[in-house]
């Protein structure tokens, strides 16, 4: 007989003053059933994996039973939604159970999403539909495998109930794990209420938890701002390098820990287009692919405004410091972008004098991809096979361009540039294959998973796609269809929050 599942909780957020959260327990559901439990993540968190293969674990992840030591809370925050400040948001359907220290020594929040109403639910039902839960599970785990900072998925369950959305899809709950769920909007919530004490307590909390290396710096709050700016610059550069569109980069969806959070109408690009938008609610394209760095910068300005009073008693001095930090975002982002993109095309030895030329080379490739409806993921994947430069090796990539000569023209410049470096083609190819995925959770694949789940409670497509995505850069025999772009009838034009 296995032991009952337990978490070695070590809670810290719930010990902060009570204005940061509301104490609220999940609402029980009728007939919970486990869809997936993430053994690997559980082991990394120091949990007893075997104990979670037990019906008692389903009850915990459904919110029907509270594990020992849990201090369930919903966090307060606000947010600028598509640029407009909404002063009241908060966890309307998420409840944090508590925190654990992982095997890496870092602190992680364990949070149920879809677990019932909270004081922040406003008109919402506090629930999540199965489709968005499956999407979040797939995409967040895929991002983690691709080395993108992100919340993780520990478990997903169905509730046995239906939720009222477009139609009546089955309800589900996802258990998310994060280095912290504090958002830009958490700071803004207290700043706009004039609660400077809370802003300072929150800043001290995230410094101690997420940025301990800066706590002794001359001005820890300025260092916090710089660190958050730097992590977001890196994060958004990584999104861009994978063709990922978050879709709702509101200030309540920007994490202070620098993780990708709140997977809503997010999606990966198939055919490359810089202005691509999937989200059904993003009418102006505010969060279009190419606007993501600017949107991130805008959100960071709101963070800076919220913490500017902490910087210096002298208002002008404080503003000058903050301005300097904020102005560094484009430079930091450009540097991360160029480093990552250079690696994607096989370059390793970029010197300062190469930088402008390398950026122009990459921009030229992207422009040709857009003009020729080339698939983003497959272009970079097949680029490594084109290294040797014989026509045979170029077949795959040339096929992706409506006018293959456009690729050929670019390839001449690319090969000339590669010739400046000492690496052999084999070495280069091996490196490129490690960072350019062949398999990503393409929209049409995710859509098929969602349809099978919502329409038939059939999770086989989910399990199969999860399995393929575990090794995104390795060719897997028999899994060709998972690498293919959608055929015309499979193309997903819009994605929905499903909230």
What are the catalytic residues?
252
Is residue 375 a contact point for Mg ion (CB under 5 A)?
A: no
Q: Residues near 155 by Cβ (< 8 Å), separated by ≥ 6?
A: 34, 35, 36, 37, 38, 52, 57, 61, 174, 175
CB of 498 to ligand AMP, least distance (A): 9
User: Residue 399 and residue 406: Cα distance in Å, rounded?
Assistant: 11
Q: Residue from 124, 167, 275, 285 that binds ligand AMP (CB under 6 A)?
A: 124
From the list ligand AMP, Mg ion, none, pick the one residue 264 interacts with, judged by a Cβ distance below 5 to 8 Å according to partner type. Answer: ligand AMP
Judged by beta carbon, residue 32 or residue 220, the one nearer ligand AMP is 32
Q: Hey, which residues does 129 pair with through a beta bridge?
A: 171
From the list Mg ion, ligand AMP, none, pick the one residue 124 interacts with, judged by a Cβ distance below 5 to 8 Å according to partner type. Answer: ligand AMP
Judged by beta carbon, residue 91 or residue 226, the one nearer ligand AMP is 91
Is residue 126 a contact point for ligand AMP (CB under 6 A)?
A: yes
Q: Residue ranges of the alpha helices (H) in 245-328?
A: 292-307, 315-327
User: Residue 219 and residue 207: Cα distance in Å, rounded?
Assistant: 12
For ligand AMP, the binding residues in 263-292 under the rule CB under 6 A are 264
User: Residue 182 and residue 185: Cα distance in Å, rounded?
Assistant: 8
User: Residue 462 and residue 135: Cα distance in Å, rounded?
Assistant: 9
Is residue 302 a contact point for ligand AMP (CB under 6 A)?
A: no
Phi-psi region of 75 (alpha: psi -120 to 50; beta: other; left: phi over 0): beta
Q: Could you tell me where the beta strands, DSSP code E, fall in 190-253? A: 244-245
Is residue 140 a contact point for Mg ion (CB under 5 A)?
A: no
Residue nearest ligand AMP (C-beta atom): 124
Judged by beta carbon, residue 127 or residue 442, the one nearer Mg ion is 127
Judged by beta carbon, residue 59 or residue 262, the one nearer Mg ion is 262
3-state secondary structure of 38: coil
Q: Residue from 109, 141, 226, 262 that binds ligand AMP (CB under 6 A)?
A: 262
Nearest-5° Cα angle at 46, 43 to 52: 60
Q: Residue from 162, 217, 290, 499 that binds ligand AMP (CB under 6 A)?
A: 499
Judged by beta carbon, residue 262 or residue 270, the one nearer Mg ion is 262
DSSP string, 258-279: --B---SS-EE-SB--TT---B
Q: Which stretch binds Mg ion (CB under 5 A): 96-104, 245-253, 339-347, 368-376?
A: 245-253
Is residue 127 a contact point for ligand AMP (CB under 6 A)?
A: yes
Residues 86-115: x where in contact with ligand AMP by CB under 6 A, - otherwise, as a string: ---xxxxx----------------------
CB of 29 to Mg ion, least distance (A): 22
The count of other CB atoms within 10 Å of the CB of residue 301 is 16
Judged by beta carbon, residue 135 or residue 382, the one nearer ligand AMP is 135
CA end-to-end span of the chain:
40
Is residue 204 a contact point for ligand AMP (CB under 6 A)?
A: no
String of b and e for 110-144 (b: at least 16 CB within 10 Å)? Answer: bbbbbbbbbebbeeebbbbbbbbbbbbbbbbbbbb
The answer to whether the beta carbons of residues 140 and 154 sit under 8 Å apart is no
CB of 40 to ligand AMP, least distance (A): 26
Is residue 253 a contact point for Mg ion (CB under 5 A)?
A: yes
Residue ranges in contact with ligand AMP by CB under 6 A: 89-93, 120-121, 124-127, 248, 253, 262, 264, 497, 499
Residue ranges in contact with Mg ion by CB under 5 A: 253, 262
């Amino acid at each position: 007989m296995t032991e009952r599942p337990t978490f070695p909780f070590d809670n810290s957020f719930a010990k902060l003053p009570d204005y940061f959260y509301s104490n609220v327990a999940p609402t029980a559901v009728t007939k919970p059933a486990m869809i997936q439990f993430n053994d690997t993540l559980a082991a990394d968190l120091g949990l007893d994996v075997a104990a979670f293969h037990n019906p008692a674990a389903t009850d915990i992840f459904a919110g029907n039973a509270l594990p020992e030591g849990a201090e369930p809370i919903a966090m307060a925050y606000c947010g600028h939604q598509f640029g407009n400040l909404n002063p009241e948001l908060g966890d309307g359907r998420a409840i944090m159970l508590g925190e654990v220290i992982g095997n890496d020594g870092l602190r992680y929040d364990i949070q149920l999403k879809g677990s019932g109403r909270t004081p922040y639910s406003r008109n919402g039902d506090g629930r999540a539909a199965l489709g968005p839960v499956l999407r979040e599970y797939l995409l967040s785990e895929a991002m983690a495998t691709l080395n993108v900072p992100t919340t993780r998925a520990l478990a997903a369950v169905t509730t046995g109930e239906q939720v009222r959305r477009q139609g009546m899809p089955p309800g589900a709950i996802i258990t998310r794990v994060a280095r912290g769920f504090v958002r830009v909007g958490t700071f803004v919530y207290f700043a706009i209420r004039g609660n400077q004490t809370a802003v300072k307590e929150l800043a001290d909390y995230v410094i101690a938890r997420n940025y301990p290396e800066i706590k002794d710096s001359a001005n820890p709050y300025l260092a916090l701002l710089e660190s958050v700016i730097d992590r977001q610059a890196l994060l958004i550069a990584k999104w861009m390098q994978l063709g990922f569109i978050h879709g709702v980069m509101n200030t309540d969806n920007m994490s202070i820990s620098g993780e990708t959070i709140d997977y809503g109408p997010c999606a990966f690009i198939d055919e490359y287009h810089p202005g691509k938008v999937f989200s059904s609610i993003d009418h102006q394209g505010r969060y279009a692919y190419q606007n993501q760095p600017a949107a991130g910068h805008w959100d960071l300005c709101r963070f800076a405004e919220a913490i500017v009073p902490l910087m210096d008693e002298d208002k002008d001095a404080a503003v000058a410091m903050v301005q300097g930090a904020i102005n560094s975002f484009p430079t930091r982002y450009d540097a991360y972008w160029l480093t990552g993109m250079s690696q994607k095309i096989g370059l390793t030895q970029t010197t300062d004098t190469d930088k402008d030329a390398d950026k122009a080379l990459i921009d030229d490739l992207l422009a040709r991809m857009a003009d020729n409806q080339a698939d983003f993921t497959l272009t970079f994947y097949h680029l490594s096979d084109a290294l040797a430069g014989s026509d045979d090796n170029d077949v795959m990539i040339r096929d992706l361009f409506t006018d293959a000569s456009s690729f050929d023209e670019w390839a001449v410049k690319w090969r000339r540039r590669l010739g400046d470096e000492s690496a052999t083609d084999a070495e280069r190819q091996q490196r490129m294959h490690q960072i350019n995925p062949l398999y990503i959770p393409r929209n049409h694949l995710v859509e098929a998973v969602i349809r099978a789940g919502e329409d038939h409670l059939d999770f086989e497509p989910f399990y199969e796609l999860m399995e393929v995505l575990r090794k995104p850069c390795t060719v897997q025999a028999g899994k060709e269809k998972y690498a293919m772009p959608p055929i015309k009838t499979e193309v997903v034009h819009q994605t929905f929050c499903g909230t």
